[in-house]
Amino acid sequence: MHWADHTAQRLSNRGGPQVSCSGITPSGEFHVGHLREILSAEMIHRACLDAGLESEYVFIVDSMDPLRRVYDFLSDSYERYIGHPLAYIPAPGPDGEPGDGSNSYAEHFLNPFLESLEEIGVSPRVIMNHETYESGGFAESIDRSISMKVEIRELIESISGRELDDGWFPYNPRDSKGSMDGVTVTGYEKPFVHWIDSHGVEGRSDIRGGDGKLPWRVDWAARWIIHGVTCEPAGKDHGAAGGSYDTGIPICRLLGGKPPDKMTYEWIQLKGMGAMSSSSGLTIGPMEALELVPPEIMRYIIARSKMGRHIEFDTGSSLFQAAEEYERLVAEPPEEEDGMSKRQRVAVRTQKGAIRLSQSVRGSEPSESIGGVSFSHLSMLAQIKKSDEVVWDSLRKSGHLEGDPSTSLIGRLAKMRSWIGGSHFPEDGRVRILTEARDEVREEIGQEGVVFLEGLCLALEDGGWDYESIGACIRETADKVGTPRRMGYTILYRILLGRDYGPKASTLIGEMSRDDFVSLARSYFQE
């Protein structure tokens, strides 16, 4: 059973409506690593719906979190906003300077990410945490937390193993200038928390508004209650022993709620570079990634991996491998058969679940995401055909396309051209057809290659010029002249591409004119 389906089955025993949740702090540019949490929660939500459960997916934006430091992409002017909630800070302009306030810092980084989610088929109910505070949604939890501050403090210290400051209080008020840093609580008279700030100003904050917030470990537990969260995957840092999950669960119970079960995932790493991090700049943005591959492939990379295993994201050759794996499973859906071992049956169910959950539109037919054209074939055409219309003509000629291309196929070709033209495309995936003989290639193929090419040119003179006919000529010629078939393909790749591998040889030759191929081949055995 796929991990999302297994989780849905477990949640069904909990009873009641299910609420899958993920959260994020909009402190900077989002990256592909963030998609693991979002897609994990969203896939569990889909699995719940597929199992007939009432379910909702919510995406909580930690817009009430404070700016913690002046990041590299910000100007020094942001020093004055440290400690201020991200929802109440002006967005940075292109020069890193604070804007006019028409757009908040939180919105500035959030909105492009929401566009990415929409493209990848994720449509959550977005909850801005500062709005929940402003509307009084946290008031009851804040009041209970303050009344149980001793118990909560003991829980955090005993479980996390760290000692809290003497002035710790389960509510962080905003000071006279809007910051939550350097504020000392002096008393509480419901609904007001009294304080004195670092400027010597005394004031009070109303727990029914956006005058302050709960500390993270308490805030997380409270939101589970407020939004009825039953499932929330979190990164392994939150799931570590003594981490936020270990304190959040008992705090939630203390506040009168029923916490979700602990669920953690491993991070997405850039191949050879480690885990992605917004602060270190080691990232690939979700929009950037979605400009390279169809959303179904991006979803499949998440869906096929168990949550406890890290994902190594490579914008090069491994994307080809993931796409080809996806296409193979779509073209030949795995089925359970008599005599299969338990392990084999589990593998089949997991693969089928991964394909189902990879669709950007829930319940859509997986084959529609391919459009009859494989990832590698489209890659080849995008490189050797100058215009899109020539690509469509080629696909019609080869029987891959009837009539006009679908919107999905047009989008796939656009992404492929973007990938090919960018820095992420792998060199071993590039296709540059040679137009004339090379001395070094002539030496590499030797006399055996010459004999093979002579026979092939002769066979191709009267044969059909389609992939199947060309493929048959290659095989028959190899057998006739005594060249091992594998060697025959290597000879073709060397004269066509100057290397030992490439796209399917019959397809590559079929995209050339008969005269162009024969002329190139004959240049190796005719002076």
- pLDDT for 432-485, tens place per residue? 999 899 999 999 999 999 999 999 999 998 878 999 999 999 999 999 999 999
Do the Cβ atoms of 395 and 381 come closer than 8 Å?
yes
* pLDDT value of residue 271: 63
pLDDT in tens, 497-524: 999 988 899 999 999 999 999 999 999 9
Q: Where are the alpha helices (DSSP H) in 64-164?
A: 105-119, 129-134, 139-147, 149-160
Q: How far is CA 2 from the centre of its chain?
A: 18
Does pLDDT of 17 surpass 60? yes
Percentage of the chain lying above the pLDDT 90 cut: 74
Given a contact cutoff of 8 angstroms between Cβ atoms, the answer to whether 171 and 177 are in contact is no
Mean pLDDT value of segment 24-32: 87
Answer yes or no: are the C-beta atoms of 14 and 52 closer than 8 Å: no
Query: Do residues 159 and 250 lie in contact, with contact meaning Cβ atoms separated by under 8 Å?
Result: yes
pLDDT at 281 over 50: no
- Tens of pLDDT, residue by residue over 39-80, are 999 999 999 999 999 999 999 999 999 999 999 999 999 999
Q: Are 82 and 70 contacting, i.e. CB atoms less than 8 angstroms apart?
A: yes
Q: Please, where are the H alpha helices in 401-465?
A: 407-421, 439-460
- Cα 475 versus chain centre, distance: 42
Q: Domain 439-522 is of which CATH architecture?
A: Orthogonal Bundle (1.10)
Spatial separation of the C-alpha atoms in residues 26 and 279, rounded to whole Å: 12
CA nearest neighbour of 316 among 419, 421, 432: 419
- What is the predicted pLDDT for the residue at 317? 75
**Strand-pair category, 274-275 with 268-270:** antiparallel
Domain boundaries of the chain, sorted by first residue: 375-429, 439-522
Q: What is the mean pLDDT of the chain?
A: 92
Rounded to an integer, the average pLDDT of 226-232 is 98
pLDDT tops 60 at residue 283: no
* pLDDT of amino acid 323: 87
- Classify residue 370 as exposed, middle or buried by CB count within 10 Å of its CB (0-12, 13-18, 19+): buried
Nearest to 37 by CA among 238, 222, 215: 238
* Cα 71 from Cα 104, distance rounded (Å): 16
Quote the distance between the C-alpha of residue 12 and its chain's center: 27
Contact assessment for residue 165 and residue 157, using Cβ atoms and an 8 Å cutoff: no
Cα distance between residue 440 and residue 421, in whole Å: 29
Q: What is the pLDDT of residues 143-182, one digit of tens each?
A: 999 999 999 999 999 999 999 999 999 999 999 999 999 9
pLDDT score of 286:
64
pTM for the model stands at 0.88
The band of 316, judged by pLDDT with boundaries at 50, 70 and 90, is confident
Q: How far apart are CA 92 and CA 268, in angstroms?
A: 28
Whose CA is closest to 218, among 178, 269, 164? 164
Strands 264-265 and 234-235: parallel
Which of helix, strand or coil describes residue 388?
helix
Both tokens assigned to 93: 């302009």
The Cα 314–Cα 401 span in angstroms is 30
Quote the CA–CA distance of 497 and 488 in Å, as a whole number: 14
pLDDT tier, 261 (very low <50, low <70, confident <90, very high otherwise): very high
CA-atom Rg of the chain in angstroms: 30
| Residues pairing with 125 in the sheet | 58
Please, which residues have CB within 8 angstroms of residue 87's CB and are 6 or more apart in sequence?
Answer: 63, 64, 104, 105, 106, 128, 130, 210
